[in-house]
């Protein structure tokens, strides 16, 4: 945490670094993370991790937010490949960590 943010630094008890989630854990962890993924196809979750999330939980949270918005706008009830690809366009370009 930068020293330029002393007020924030004084409120953080311990900084926690969370590493990348291994691909083999993604199909188990992500459906438990949010109900939108509980109904999603296993292969779609794996593809999403490989193409956009790269095991980064913050990226998964952003993708999930955009997907939920997309589901609500389109009236769909399940994540599909078309909606997922539209979601990618809402993400900033990010390389795997």
User: What are the pLDDT digits (tens) for 1-14?
Assistant: 456 677 777 777 77
Q: Is residue 93 part of a domain?
A: no
Q: Is residue 48 part of a domain?
A: yes
Coil vs helix vs strand at 47: helix
| Structure confidence at residue 97 (pLDDT) | 45
Domain count, the chain: 1
| Mean pLDDT, rounded, for 66-93 | 91
**Tokens coding 40:** 């999603």
Q: Is residue 70 part of a domain?
A: yes
Q: Is residue 6 part of a domain?
A: no
| Structure confidence at residue 3 (pLDDT) | 60
Residue 63 belongs to what domain range? 19-88
**Residue 71 scores a pLDDT above 50:** yes
Instruction: Kindly report the pTM of this predicted structure.
Output: 0.78
Closest CA to 61 of 94, 12, 16: 94
| Structure confidence at residue 81 (pLDDT) | 93
């Amino acid at each position: 945490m930068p020293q330029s943010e002393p007020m924030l630094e004084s409120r953080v008890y311990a900084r926690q670094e969370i590493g990348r989630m291994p691909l083999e854990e993604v199909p188990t962890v992500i459906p438990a993370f949010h109900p939108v993924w509980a109904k999603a196809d296993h292969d779609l979750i794996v593809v999403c991790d490989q193409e956009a999330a790269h095991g980064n939980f913050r990226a998964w949270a952003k993708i999930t937010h955009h997907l939920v918005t997309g589901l609500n706008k389109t009236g769909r009830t399940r994540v599909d490949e078309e909606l997922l690809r539209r979601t990618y366009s809402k993400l900033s370009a990010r390389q795997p960590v």
